[in-house]
Amino acid sequence: MTVTIQRQKFREYLKGSRCFIPASVYDPMSARLAENLGFEVGMFAGSVASLAVLGAPDLIVLTLTELAEQARRITRASNLPILVDADHGFGNALNVKRTVEELEAAGVAALTIEDTNLPQPFGDNGKQSLISIEEGVGKMRAALAGRSDPSLVVIGRTSAVSISDLDDAIARCKAYETAGVDAVFLTGIKTRAELEAVCSAVRIPVMLGLIGKEINDLEYLGRTGVRIGLQGHLPIMAAIQATHDTYVALRNGAAPEAVSGVKPDVLKVATIEEAYKLWTKDFLGGEKS
């Protein structure tokens, strides 16, 4: 499947009436597993990228080059349309334009740019803040100018609901819609009243961060206008835990064959082993033992 087809498929999902839950992916094997299990979309989050590439917390110490390189490894490994969280675009509006160019070249289907003031400024003591709406609009316009393939989906993201208030979040969404983004992404939405206020204020699709208990109803979300809803990033956390537990067992003297949770058949899917066997036979004149 070509990148353009993947982007067109993502756009079809946005135009539909269903809320999709993307698989949180972090490397080629996780993307293949998600595709094999029938997920329609994969998401590569900034926090996950920081874990997978640097082994660091989500503090914006990852570089654009590192994000784009890992995104490219993921997109080349499967036909799953990949949505990338590009954080604040790694700088000002000019950096945002460059970010879009690099991620488009990496083969992503969609990306988000947010208006959080990142990285953490000196003296903020961990308290989040937002850039101005005007600067946010400039970033969205730069993001749109940075894409050469019009099928690439650009999503404007704001955390204003939890940082300032709902009215500010709506104002930002409307401004980003006017700037031309394809969808808006909000974090911090907890109630149906908040969600309905946002969805009635914009005409473009909505994407949500962690889906709270009150709104955790896919039929309701789809009917309201939400097209993408996130469930956090459990797969990489589960992988880290499983690795830790395996190390503990081996360190404590367990025999390799006694360690639980190891399933060769899953590895075969993750590495597309059968395809490599065919290629070995076709191109090397025999099947690898």
Where does the pLDDT of residue 250 fall: very low under 50, low under 70, confident under 90, or very high at 90 and above? very high
Closest CA to 12 of 41, 43, 45: 41
Question: 121-125, 198-202, 204-208: which has the minimum mean pLDDT?
Answer: 121-125
CA distance 140 to 1: 28
pLDDT of the residue at 289 = 52
pLDDT exceeds cutoff 80 at 1: no
Q: Which residues pair with 85 in a beta bridge?
A: 112
Where does the pLDDT of residue 86 fall: very low under 50, low under 70, confident under 90, or very high at 90 and above? very high
CA distance 260 to 253: 14
pLDDT of the residue at 288 = 53
Where does the pLDDT of residue 260 fall: very low under 50, low under 70, confident under 90, or very high at 90 and above? confident
Where does the pLDDT of residue 53 fall: very low under 50, low under 70, confident under 90, or very high at 90 and above? very high
CA distance 193 to 265: 46
Please identify which residue in the block is written with the tokens 């808006």: 184
Token pair, residue 98, equals 């460059």
| Region of residue 176 (left: phi > 0; alpha: psi -120 to 50; beta: else) | alpha
pLDDT of the residue at 170 = 98
pLDDT of the residue at 262 = 82
Closest CA to 110 of 3, 192, 21: 3
| Region of residue 38 (left: phi > 0; alpha: psi -120 to 50; beta: else) | left
pLDDT of the residue at 286 = 67
pLDDT of the residue at 121 = 92
Where does the pLDDT of residue 261 fall: very low under 50, low under 70, confident under 90, or very high at 90 and above? confident
What mean pLDDT comes out for the span 231-256? 96
pLDDT of the residue at 91 = 98
